[in-house]
Amino acid sequence: MLNSLELAALSQAVSNEARVLYCLYLLPQSQSDDSKITIHNKDILALLNSTDKRISLGREISALFEELHHAGLIDIQGEHDFQKSLNRHRVTLLLNKAGKDLQDSDLHAQHQKISVSWRPDNHLFEQICALVGVIDLHFDAEELGEFIAYWLGRPESQHTPYQWTQKFVLHLKHRRIRKPISGEKSKVGHQWVETQAGIEFDDNVKKLVKKYSEQS
């Protein structure tokens, strides 16, 4: 069943094919214990072309996933290119398993532009990081400034406090998947994180490290 966050996201400018993909393919699979869903293009083609043959190429399916990604509904694990087939990639439904506190109406009611002084809410930031698997919660002025500068150049974009924080977390995740040009960083699973002396990982982080290492 759709929750209020999913319904609001699907009410945005999303194609009907993308809505069908989410509601009839992804959502039913999210009921299992595994929070990540594997994309099988063959099954998706059978679903979307049940009466008329509308879609035939893997990149056309990827374009639908890109719509859902931009609407804030999903995250794709690892490195990906929406111009290519996403077959066998893994998907996380970002809003489906969100806690009640993430459904606070104040986080979703008001759409606003980004500002130079924008900062993510700490509690919300930590929760979204946990949802999408961002390991290192530290971010520096360069990472924040890069994000703000990008969206300041798109003044037509207006989003809710939840959406801005979600976009920032995904920005950090995708940035850290790319190999750093310089600096003391260590690779944990698919992500590059700061190497800091004297830091010890707790049990939860060690489990994440093991999980991502097995998947890499």
Q: Clarify whether residues 118 and 50 are in a common domain.
A: no
Find all residues with CB under 8 Å of 17, minimum gap 6, and list them. 48, 54, 55, 64
Domain with 18, as residue range(s), is: 4-93
Last residue of a domain, one of 93, 119, 149: 93
Q: Clarify whether residues 208 and 104 are in a common domain.
A: yes
Q: How far apart are CA 111 and CA 108, in angstroms?
A: 8
CB of 59 closer than 8 Å to CB of 84: yes
Q: Clarify whether residues 27 and 47 are in a common domain.
A: yes
Backbone Cα Rg of the chain? 18
**Lowest pLDDT segment from 27-31, 100-104, 197-201:** 197-201
Q: Clarify whether residues 28 and 77 are in a common domain.
A: yes
The residue among 25 and 31 whose pLDDT is bigger is 25
**Lowest pLDDT segment from 95-99, 165-169, 196-200:** 196-200
Q: Clarify whether residues 129 and 48 are in a common domain.
A: no
Q: Is the confidence at residue 191, as pLDDT, over 70?
A: no
The residue among 42 and 110 whose pLDDT is bigger is 42
Q: Is the confidence at residue 18, as pLDDT, over 80?
A: yes
Q: Is the confidence at residue 110, as pLDDT, over 90?
A: no
pLDDT in tens, 114-151: 999 999 988 888 888 877 778 788 898 999 999 999 99
pLDDT of residue 105: 60
Q: What is the DSSP string of 41-57?
A: HHHHHHHHTSSS----S
Could you give the 3-state DSSP secondary structure of residue 12?
A: coil
Q: Is the confidence at residue 213, as pLDDT, over 70?
A: no
CB of 91 closer than 8 Å to CB of 26: yes
Q: What is the mean pLDDT of the chain?
A: 79
Q: Clarify whether residues 34 and 108 are in a common domain.
A: no
HSE of 129 in the Cβ direction (CA atoms, 13 Å)? 19
Entry pTM:
0.56
Could you give the 3-state DSSP secondary structure of residue 92?
A: strand
Q: Is the confidence at residue 212, as pLDDT, over 50?
A: no
Q: Clarify whether residues 85 and 111 are in a common domain.
A: no
- How many domains does the chain fold into? 2
Q: What CATH number should be reported for the domain holding residue 180?
A: 1.10.8.1180
pLDDT of residue 201: 45
Q: Clarify whether residues 29 and 59 are in a common domain.
A: yes
Last residue of a domain, one of 93, 112, 136: 93
Q: Structure tokens of 52?
A: 């008329």
Q: Is the confidence at residue 39, as pLDDT, over 70?
A: yes
